[in-house]
Structure 1
């Protein structure tokens, strides 16, 4: 399908509409954000290769074959012989093809019998499989397969051998590939069983390979994973030292040498200022023992640096190089922010020696349309939305974040309270905690570690014992940041994990925090979670029967407060370090106070798309130093003429006056960021003016919209890279004849793209019943506007500009075009599917010619040897005949249409027999490949290779892989 209008015309009209929309109140308020930050930076292709395209996916389990005889049980217990979905020869030809990140739970239809906290989405078990070729040069050094996150538990097989088990959905799984890998033209099969039957949280967690997957390769002499640690600090003492003098940047690098000889190693480091100017260098030398590890230490000195803060997220660039015997073997570079953080019992949090109240939000990691499979650029978008609200911090509730979120937080100046998922001293959970700390300790944005959230064993000896071990682990890995926890009640009980913390986090607890502060005046305190106000984006009034809550910041849970009251409580207590509102965004699951069919929460200051609710504007008014005013929700109430309607004005002025078509309607004082009105509705221009000291300091206008006549598409930006991780959120809306957005439009629409894909669609409705996933080809999808807005997440494939067209019955279509730049992430292609033939039996070498097609006796594991392709053996003149035998069942496609048997390398004179018939003769003993047609046929087939070594002594065997394919 070709879309009309030229690229130049559409680009011009899209830019013009974006400028025009800034004048539209609902759009200006819902979409207001600072300019997009820099896109995610590329990783060095030398270091990491993406492994995300062309995975084969099967929803549901594929159990291992039942063990009904001795031979099956014997084989099952041996390496390389996995069955079911883990088998190398598993028939995955008709599985779905998916690209990662992938959340398979999102595609499930909500089921009222399923877990409501998982958004009523069935989860269960699924399988992923992929083939890869590995360069023979990668045999030397380090070669890791890295899964950044799998929801929830996973088992991984490589080439039919169990390689790893992983418990927990939020920290990476790293597998050393070298012991399992084949190299060259022999493909490797990665099989992953994801078991999401269990859950770790009481919110939507998704399911599947939902974060990135990489192959990471390093030379024999290299920096180990997360082995570079930088701990910047001022050289002086006291809070003023941060801004008044020079800084030191001590570095440690954990180095490994997998080579066979010791290496003379030089480590060189260079620090580049935010403007690219070199400001410091250092180097160190050491001897790195063979098959050993060592640590290098060096220090950079930085004169009067530019410090990192939310107001100025200045980032230096640290470059490190490792040379072994004079040759470059490894290098690592990344952003580094210099700043100090101190929590004080009297003055709250001090950043670079100055008070910096935390204006934070808690957030889970799912987003409209994509679930938990969040593209990298959406982290940037979501953090920009927090900054647009006036916020400066994010609590990663309640688990380790994606690495890309921390990178975006560094760039955008968002402070991170990094939270651990599970309170426990079990080895798996301590490993997960360690992974969190290693991930975040070089990020300026990370200001503290949170060990847990609302644990019932908080006031117990067991809880204290666990926290003692967990805190010691954190201290060993990062002695520079405080340790906290989000606690809820039982604060004065003894024993108590609160007594173990550097900063005590209060979840709610408004009735006890003052008394606790008085009893423990030297303990820094933090509102780790507060608010829990409830609202439906854009709803002027509530309707409990339809699970709709008015978007007016007047409803909160019994244990919480409204946005206005929650921040007023914090602002009145300068000794409190600030707070994290629950939540920044709506999230799937936990649809308090409702049940089915509500699938999403109502807590967010923004909805699941990042569109603003009243809480967004109230926080913006309370958190901003510059004048703020916003009218909410809108001034379009069809058939309501002559009736009083609720209007909220969020402002940090002292007084607000409300005007309709130039006539003043009323004045109201501002209390905690809000002035409330109930004007009689009449269409027109509604203007709010904010007054301070007798003069107008801010104003906002809402214009009544007419009937919708067209759709409009507004992308977050007009430029995109040709890779899935650089997705763009596109706002869909309806507009009237004057181009004014219609905030009450609820139209269904269809979206089609060329030059890319739709990753998902959503609209922020907590009661959404429509599918959020696109059609199978990713080129088209459908959604409905909800209170005037919807969102599509799109990506480009590099085939040309990304064209989008949206259509709806009775409305003119909308079009836009995004410019596409080349992708920057190196990837490892998938191998076309082929069935490996691996389970061979070898008869004892014989002086007499054996008869091909023989079958072993039942239960005979020892008369014939087990062997796999990839090895040869010396011949014996006294027993020159060697017979290899295999019984196999072709995959369905080959059984139906026939295929080709491919021998990568056969060494020696050989006859190939299939089902008792000789089908090929290899007369030349030199190593050579063979390709033999396989006729169609169902059921078990018999394959024999008979080596005749009577006249060609030396070696014989299957030196390479044997496979069956189309």
Structure 2
């Protein structure tokens, strides 16, 4: 819970009856909280607190009686409303009761109003509807090291003893490890994407070096966080990972595709104490036969919640259609980290997109200490707007955990009202209407960024699929980032959600459970897939494995069928098809009819088909140049886009299909080997630029608007008079082709096979006209262009968010003097950016080994792409492109001001000095300073703690610590911080005086440390006055220069 009002909302949550906490109030709109136990010395103010209690008992009645005219037109939940309310209450009570502001603020308590904090927060306003939990990005402050850091050998008795104890980690996992020379990276981070493409590395992974890497971060939590449950959420880390927190191993993970939710609460320290998070990533391990990347490539968050809260993925809200209207069963799983059982209530509300409440239900529940409790509730909606691929209407379920009338945890879950079913004879139905699944398979990488795809780039990719006419995606071969499913919900794409590792053993079954629990609220998901092309699919063992996995899926979600993507074995006596609800065929299209005849009661879909090779802008298959044609020629062993869809579309019993693939992807280069380093299967290339197959599928899939496209371009210098194969993609009745105004003939459109002409090449204009019912409904042309004279830069959208997270994909082209794109341009282009950062480059060339980082990229067949990350609180995003001999181009994207997301407080590369010793007190300064030469380990321990009692007489006390500064401090110097230091003191670096604090009162001190190699001893010479306390009461920190702490 934040300690100050942020964005107009004040959140103040502590469990009822907690030590030092008093809940007060009673109004139905506002609840006040007074924390009178913040500082140790506040016990002396008990009498004032008792006096204050009389004030507080009547506070809620007073609030109800305050004239509404005092805050006209102001909502209670607004920032101004909070400020005016609290200020008015203060004035009224001061006028009528014998108490003043000082009485109200005793014991370190603080009035919080309008975002201003006067001291330590304790009195706050809980606005109804505010979210008591905090979800904080942990994307900054990460220190990164490529390569392993060997653990030291443990040889001594003492080290062996320490090694067996909690909190004792070694090497880079240790909190005290020096990572000051490691570079800082921002998440998401795919470290493999920075590797050069070299022939000696794994072909399937795109010829990039994989390996081991380390990530480290240091977290800070406020004292107010001690009453909260703190969870680390890692959405994805590739591939194997071990995670340490404050020297404790808190997780091992053996897959790069599942999320981790880790309770940090028992290990966390607060205030000035620091918390070290260390992650060793082993990306030498591989789970796929495609490019998988490596590192913390998805979102990482810290989530702070009330001790009694909704667990992560703990709400299941799935609408069910009744004979009249709909019911919405809601299951809420609660967990309590409290020390005793808690009696609370769960309140759920269904809201439409405008926020109107449609139905609400509340249920009382008891949550045992350190255990879970399940609350089952039910909501109704008589006539909801249905979710569909054309109109993806979404609703929200707001779940509140209530302690009395105080919301202590709140979660908003998206859902949609729709029905789905698979029929063994007639295919798939959405909302009881037949719908052919027009799907594609997608991997999770993109040009320039690898697997570390910003949310905005996912949005770009999903929008491209909708433009294609696609209505479904299969997430191959793993559960996707949650943002992908959110976007599919929003844009109206059906989803086959797929498990990565086919293994029903306990740990991997946890991955299946995680996938279903995380994703089951998404209306877009219509199928759970448990595997892809497993060798045991045609065996009894495979059947038993799937039977167990499918059973576990159904235990968590009975509303969707289970499938498996089979490429053989479906005719075996015992096989996987007998253990699933819908059989998925990978290829094997010539067996559709035989399987349906043998099993007429089993629903069937193509889970993967086509696998046609093509290179954007290439129209000849050339092994020497590693090119494949864009004409949709039949590839060896696979199928064409045209033929595959015809096999599916002409069979009602086939629910639909998923083309392999929607986009090219790094790795799995086929049909060629080196230097080809990415696939050629995509309908679009690595950048999301359309190949000609894009228009083939638009022709097949789009029924509501004309589609017309000519293949190929018309720049064929040197081939004058030679026949050029021309393919026209159209979805009309007829199509006619013209060359330089002369008709080459009119044909009846074939939306399965397309229409073809052989045209002797002549420079000029090739034009096509589409006819529907005898009328021209569309026309398109390709023309012979001139030489490129200028560049053109086009962003994927005109505005972006100024939050430092948004990204824009820029399309780069070369144009001729008439502004026409030159499809054969290959110019090298240089880029510069203002108010942004280039995070990736690409051009769709599957044979290029050029780096996808930096500021230059060659056009490939006329196109390139630059991906730019926005900056927080910056002006318009400006990208400039320059190429030798061409006119430069500039594109400006407007930046919408947006508050940066809340982030977890971090610090990096600081050293905590917590082993101190104090010498016996001396009368004279000279005698005390002599102790600098004595072995201090013979003295008493002296660490950050409460004040030391004063000596009986004036004198001097030397307090010392020995340490070796981090490498950066040794090389460049640093700062030593004493946040709370009581007493007059001189600070010595060994024997050199480097700082002085003359005032004996409590205060802070920061002293500059000179650069120097090796171990040091810090000596503090306290001037101890008779009976006057002295100490430093918080950790002493050594940091780099110019580093905030």
Displacement of 1:543 in angstroms is 1.8
CA distance in 2, matches of 1:435, 1:383: 24
Aligned to 2:477: 398
Q: Answer whether contact 1:105 1:122 (CA < 8 A) is retained.
A: yes
CA distance in 2, matches of 1:852, 1:575: 88
CA distance in 2, matches of 1:331, 1:87: 36
Aligned to 1:743: 823
Q: Answer whether contact 2:917 2:961 (CA < 8 A) is retained.
A: no
Alignment partner for residue 567 of structure 1, among 619, 628, 645? 645
Counterpart mapping for 1:231-270 below 5 A: 231-236=318-323, 245-260=324-339, 262-270=341-349
Q: Secondary structure at the match of 1:473?
A: helix
Alignment partner for residue 192 of structure 2, among 80, 105, 116? 105
Aligned to 1:796: 870
Alignment partner for residue 358 of structure 1, among 413, 437, 454? 437
Alignment partner for residue 663 of structure 2, among 569, 578, 585? 585
C-alpha offsets along residues 2-48 of structure 1, whole Å, 9 cap, x if unaligned?
A: xxxxxxxxxxxxxxxxxxxxxxxxxxxxxxxxxxxxxxxxx979531
Q: Answer whether contact 1:88 1:836 (CA < 8 A) is retained.
A: no
Query: Does 1:217 find its partner at 2:304?
Result: yes
Q: Answer whether contact 2:131 2:409 (CA < 8 A) is retained.
A: no
Q: Answer whether contact 2:641 2:697 (CA < 8 A) is retained.
A: yes
Check 1:690–1:472 CA distance in 2 against 1; reply closer, same or farther (3 A cut): same
- Report the more deviating stretch, 903-912 or 253-262: 903-912
CA distance in 2, matches of 1:353, 1:694: 35
Check 1:213–1:822 CA distance in 2 against 1; reply closer, same or farther (3 A cut): farther
Check 1:932–1:717 CA distance in 2 against 1; reply closer, same or farther (3 A cut): closer
Instruction: Normalising by structure 2, report the TM-score.
Output: 0.80
Check 1:69–1:256 CA distance in 2 against 1; reply closer, same or farther (3 A cut): closer
Q: Answer whether contact 2:803 2:901 (CA < 8 A) is retained.
A: no
Check 1:629–1:965 CA distance in 2 against 1; reply closer, same or farther (3 A cut): closer
Q: Answer whether contact 2:361 2:377 (CA < 8 A) is retained.
A: yes
Check 1:635–1:287 CA distance in 2 against 1; reply closer, same or farther (3 A cut): same
Q: Answer whether contact 2:329 2:376 (CA < 8 A) is retained.
A: yes
Displacement of 1:484 in angstroms is 0.7
Q: Answer whether contact 2:237 2:297 (CA < 8 A) is retained.
A: yes
Alignment partner for residue 840 of structure 1, among 892, 910, 915? 915
Query: Does 1:808 find its partner at 2:883?
Result: yes
Displacement of 1:715 in angstroms is 0.8
Aligned to 2:577: 498
Q: Answer whether contact 2:919 2:936 (CA < 8 A) is retained.
A: no
Check 1:788–1:329 CA distance in 2 against 1; reply closer, same or farther (3 A cut): same
Displacement of 1:601 in angstroms is 0.3
Counterpart mapping for 1:772-791 below 5 A: 772-774=852-854, 781-791=855-865
The Cα RMSD (Å) is: 3.3
Query: Does 1:154 find its partner at 2:241?
Result: yes
Alignment partner for residue 888 of structure 1, among 963, 971, 988? 963
Displacement of 1:611 in angstroms is 1.0
Displacement of 1:901 in angstroms is 3.1
Check 1:823–1:669 CA distance in 2 against 1; reply closer, same or farther (3 A cut): same
Counterpart mapping for 1:879-918 below 5 A: 887-905=962-980, 915=990
Displacement of 1:122 in angstroms is 0.4
CA distance in 1, matches of 2:353, 2:904: 36
Q: Answer whether contact 1:434 1:474 (CA < 8 A) is retained.
A: yes
Aligned to 1:90: 177
Displacement of 1:620 in angstroms is 0.8
Aligned to 2:290: 203
Aligned to 2:892: 817
Displacement of 1:604 in angstroms is 0.4
C-alpha offsets along residues 629-658 of structure 1, whole Å, 9 cap, x if unaligned?
A: 211232222333222112211123354321
Alignment partner for residue 385 of structure 2, among 292, 301, 306? 306
- Report the more deviating stretch, 485-494 or 900-909: 900-909
The count of aligned residue pairs is 902
CA distance in 1, matches of 2:942, 2:632: 68
Check 1:524–1:947 CA distance in 2 against 1; reply closer, same or farther (3 A cut): farther
Check 1:831–1:440 CA distance in 2 against 1; reply closer, same or farther (3 A cut): closer
Q: Secondary structure at the match of 2:723?
A: coil
CA distance in 2, matches of 1:450, 1:907: 64
Q: Answer whether contact 1:853 1:885 (CA < 8 A) is retained.
A: no
Aligned to 1:60: 147
Check 1:276–1:843 CA distance in 2 against 1; reply closer, same or farther (3 A cut): closer
CA distance in 2, matches of 1:525, 1:481: 15
Check 1:899–1:700 CA distance in 2 against 1; reply closer, same or farther (3 A cut): closer
Displacement of 1:168 in angstroms is 1.0
Check 1:921–1:384 CA distance in 2 against 1; reply closer, same or farther (3 A cut): closer
Displacement of 1:514 in angstroms is 1.9
Tell which structure's C-alpha radius of gyration is larger.
2
Aligned to 1:525: 604
CA distance in 2, matches of 1:759, 1:938: 37
Aligned to 2:425: 346
Check 1:171–1:946 CA distance in 2 against 1; reply closer, same or farther (3 A cut): farther
Check 1:664–1:836 CA distance in 2 against 1; reply closer, same or farther (3 A cut): same
C-alpha offsets along residues 820-867 of structure 1, whole Å, 9 cap, x if unaligned?
A: 11334523265453432357387999999996666699xxxxx999x9
Instruction: Normalising by structure 1, report the TM-score.
Output: 0.87
Q: Answer whether contact 2:362 2:377 (CA < 8 A) is retained.
A: yes
Alignment partner for residue 710 of structure 1, among 776, 790, 802? 790
CA distance in 1, matches of 2:817, 2:1009: 67
Check 1:319–1:625 CA distance in 2 against 1; reply closer, same or farther (3 A cut): same
- Report the more deviating stretch, 888-897 or 255-264: 255-264
- Report the more deviating stretch, 635-644 or 513-522: 635-644
Alignment partner for residue 687 of structure 2, among 593, 605, 609? 609
Q: Answer whether contact 1:263 1:325 (CA < 8 A) is retained.
A: no
Check 1:916–1:552 CA distance in 2 against 1; reply closer, same or farther (3 A cut): same
Check 1:335–1:311 CA distance in 2 against 1; reply closer, same or farther (3 A cut): same
Check 1:882–1:189 CA distance in 2 against 1; reply closer, same or farther (3 A cut): farther
CA distance in 2, matches of 1:80, 1:596: 48
Q: Answer whether contact 2:172 2:278 (CA < 8 A) is retained.
A: yes
Query: Does 1:676 find its partner at 2:763?
Result: no
- Report the more deviating stretch, 642-651 or 530-539: 642-651
Q: Answer whether contact 1:156 1:164 (CA < 8 A) is retained.
A: yes
Aligned to 1:29: none
Check 1:949–1:487 CA distance in 2 against 1; reply closer, same or farther (3 A cut): farther
Check 1:221–1:734 CA distance in 2 against 1; reply closer, same or farther (3 A cut): same
Q: Secondary structure at the match of 2:301?
A: strand
Displacement of 1:668 in angstroms is 4.2
Query: Does 1:758 find its partner at 2:835?
Result: no
CA distance in 2, matches of 1:892, 1:252: 53
Query: Does 1:936 find its partner at 2:1011?
Result: yes
Alignment partner for residue 440 of structure 1, among 507, 519, 522? 519
C-alpha offsets along residues 496-552 of structure 1, whole Å, 9 cap, x if unaligned?
A: 222110111111112323222111111111110110000001112222111011111
Q: Answer whether contact 2:315 2:413 (CA < 8 A) is retained.
A: no
Alignment partner for residue 637 of structure 1, among 712, 716, 735? 716
CA distance in 2, matches of 1:864, 1:509: 80
Q: Answer whether contact 1:852 1:946 (CA < 8 A) is retained.
A: no
Check 1:723–1:426 CA distance in 2 against 1; reply closer, same or farther (3 A cut): farther
Aligned to 2:262: 175
Displacement of 1:123 in angstroms is 1.4
Unaligned runs of 5+ in 1: 1-42, 237-244, 775-780, 858-862
CA distance in 2, matches of 1:459, 1:171: 27
C-alpha offsets along residues 902-924 of structure 1, whole Å, 9 cap, x if unaligned?
A: 34456899997765889889999
- Report the more deviating stretch, 949-958 or 640-649: 949-958
Q: Secondary structure at the match of 1:490?
A: coil
Check 1:898–1:334 CA distance in 2 against 1; reply closer, same or farther (3 A cut): same
Alignment partner for residue 225 of structure 2, among 134, 138, 150? 138
